[in-house]
Amino acid sequence: MANNRVKLNDNTAIPRLAFGTGTALFGKDTEDMVTAAINAGFTHLDGAQAYGNEESLGAGIAAAGKPREQLFVTTKLHKLPEGKSARDMLVESLAKLRLEYVDLFLIHTPVYFLEPGRLKEAWKQMEEVKKEGLARSIGVSNFRPAQLREILDSAEFPPSVNQVGDQPDRDADCNLLRQIEFHPYVYQETQPTLALQKQYGIVTESYGGLSPIFRFKGGPLDPILASIAKRLSDETGRPFSEAQVLYLWQREKGVVVVT
């Protein structure tokens, strides 16, 4: 599953399973874990400016020694400081990552682009880094239909990905816009977003898709997951966990999974 690829709307392709460096690794040195993940077979590595650990992600990539063309690296635009462009911020990230380009560059959250016209301007800057080749593909994260439509109205390139369920920051500003998740408990709630994404060929990427077993344990999904895991274990003769069942469910929905 890790290296099966999903085609994006710009004719590139993204590995279906990624190793994430946020949440539990937020602000932490990830070098050893990234190297171990690559050595274990991961080729898709998901990072972000807001995670505060791009340097160690880059160090882990370098230490693994895997050819660059065999890896798929994502980072995400955080805030735009006064006088800085998306290109400026990406160039800073590339230096930390020790890379000449990223495979996917996302606007991490619309929270910091709420002023009229600011989101469209940010997207135009994202399109410029794609044209320059600093990012092979561009996309968004935690966008709902209203934010997607705002950039789609004038986009030269529609987003290739919307990563949902991410945690862009730990400060109070994030309360301005509730983060999107993707798991069975919220599947119906996400239908308007998924329908719009289907119209434009925008791939859903899920971060935190294991919430039902980590954050909402004791819910009605518990016996269903346990039953499916047991059935798959019996049928295949090898152990299946509830986490693997959720990952399989997301795969069947065409979702790219970030650990």
- Catalytic residue annotation: 51, 108
Contact residues for 255 (Cβ-Cβ < 8 A; gap 6+): 182, 203, 204, 205, 206, 209
First-to-last C-alpha distance (Å) of the chain: 13
Nearest Cα to Cα of residue 54 among 5, 82, 93: 93
β-pair type (203-207, 72-77): unpaired
Name the residue among 18, 24, 85, 29 with its Cα closest to residue 57.
Answer: 29
Question: 67 CB contacts (<8 Å, ≥6 apart)?
Answer: none
CA angle 161, 162, 165 (to 5 degrees): 135
**Burial of residue 183, with CB atoms counted within 10 A of its CB: 0-12 exposed, 13-18 middle, 19 or more buried:** buried
